[in-house]
Amino acid sequence: MKDRCAPMPETMKDDGRSKDAKAVLFALSGPWRRFFPSPVPTRLADDRRGVIIIMFALMLPVMLGFLGLAVEVALWYSNRRDMQGAADAAAIAAAYEIAESRTTNATARGTAEAENNGWSSSTGTIAINNSSADVNSTFPTSGAFTADSNAVEVLLTKNVTRLFSGYFFTDNTVTINGRAVATVVAGASTACVLALGSSNQQGALTVSGATNSVTMSGCTMATNSTNANAVKNQTGTMSADCIYSAGGVQGTPTTTACSGAKTNQPTVTDPYEEAVTKPTDADFDNCAIDGGTINTAVDLLISDGVFCSIKTTGGTLTMTSGTYYIDRGDFRVTGGGTVNASGVVIVFGDSTGSNNCGGLTISGSSNINITAPTSGNFVGIAFYRSSSCDANDDFKFTGTTASAIEGAVYNPSGDV
């Protein structure tokens, strides 16, 4: 009897595979192959569709972490910029107090300005350093001003709570720092000659003449004119501690406390508009009765009061201390006359309310020696002409005068 068993297929030969594996391979090698063109495990192993989803899912936390860290670092830089602004404001405010001899206020003023500019004592610290015992007897810790007794150093800190970076660091805060140093320029002084008009006027401050010399010790000159030649030192000498022009400078004026005349500077606010109580029209009443018209060529002594005009063409006019009101008239010193006045202010006005104020002229070989009051409404002012006065009369110093004026020359509505 013949053996009915079919011969063993090639794939069923003993090749070391298990019986189960051989059975699967046998089943797939027969008529079932048309339904399974290749072994299923092999197809699954070669299929790469959807792999990017897995990779993205794995990388997403890392990407979000870097994005969050970038945003947080930007926030730190923003806080750093704010702290620098607060430190700058605090240092300048404290330096102003020291410049005005109010060192006891420096710490409080500096702290207040830091708070006004975004710093808070609840989230940070402040240190204000200055060599004065009224501050903390400490010079700035570094930089070019470690030996400058006028310098003020402000050190600020601000603690910022971590966001994303808190997952990577054990401490929960970042400390933001700000540092600024401000100082009073050595030799700088109060401006005593101001051309306050905002118009584009040429030569708002002018010195001319071959031998003329205008020397202002302890004084700064400034003009608000934006003209390219707002300050003109044509000939002669123009000398002051510092010279500031909102426009330009023609010539080479001398500055003893600054490195040359400064151009394109910010305009200056009138320092006397609010500090001085403007005289009223009634202050100039009865000039003919009180003082009348002084017109002399001989030595004369006068006292303060209301005058229609004061003129001297020779001799010496001595003025006792006080306020001299001139109603619609001039103050003139000509022909070699001399005026000596201590603690005196000359005030120009108009009793009629028409603002037709007079002017000042010092000419020829005359001279005037005047010292401004040290107290009262017109403290520090030698000549005062209100801003409400007309612009028709100037303050003029011409010829070979040898005058000494200690005080401000104030004529906001006219020229000097």
What tens digit of pLDDT does each residue of 127-140 get? Answer: 999 999 999 999 99
Q: Name 327's Cβ contacts closer than 8 Å, sequence gap at least 6.
A: 284, 285, 287, 306, 307, 308, 349, 350, 351
Mark 38-73 as b/e (b = at least 16 C-beta within 10 Å): eeeeeeeeeeeeeeeeeeeeeeeeeeeeeeeeeebe
Phi, then psi, of 129 in degrees rounded to 5: -110, 130
pLDDT at 308 (0 to 100): 95
pLDDT tops 60 at residue 74: yes
Q: How far apart are the first and last CA of the chain?
A: 146
Least confident of 33-47, 87-101, 175-189, 382-396: 33-47
pLDDT at 314 (0 to 100): 86
Alpha helix (H) ranges present in 39-164? Answer: 40-46, 51-99, 106-116
Contact present, 153 and 128 (Cβ < 8 Å): yes
pLDDT at 30 (0 to 100): 52
Contact present, 261 and 249 (Cβ < 8 Å): yes
Tokens of 226: 């934006």
Domains of the chain, by residue range, sit at 53-182, 191-255, 281-410
Q: Dump the DSSP string for 281-325.
A: GGGGTTHHHHT-EEEESS-EEE-SEEESEEEESSSEEEE-SEEEE
Q: Name 22's Cβ contacts closer than 8 Å, sequence gap at least 6.
A: 11, 12
The per-residue pLDDT for range 168-220, each reduced to its tens digit, is 777 888 889 999 999 876 444 567 788 877 667 888 888 877 656 788 888 88
pLDDT tops 70 at residue 21: no
> What mean pLDDT is reported for the chain?
83
Least confident of 33-37, 54-58, 332-336: 33-37
Tell me the three state secondary structure of residue 109.
helix
Least confident of 51-60, 218-227, 359-368: 51-60
β-strand partners of 28: none
pLDDT tops 70 at residue 302: yes
The per-residue pLDDT for range 304-362, each reduced to its tens digit, is 999 999 999 888 999 999 999 999 999 999 888 899 999 999 999 999 999 999 999 99
**Average pLDDT value for residue range 113-127:** 92
pLDDT above 90 coverage of the chain, percent: 38
pLDDT at 23 (0 to 100): 52
**Average pLDDT value for residue range 275-289:** 91
pLDDT tops 90 at residue 260: no
**Average pLDDT value for residue range 378-406:** 86
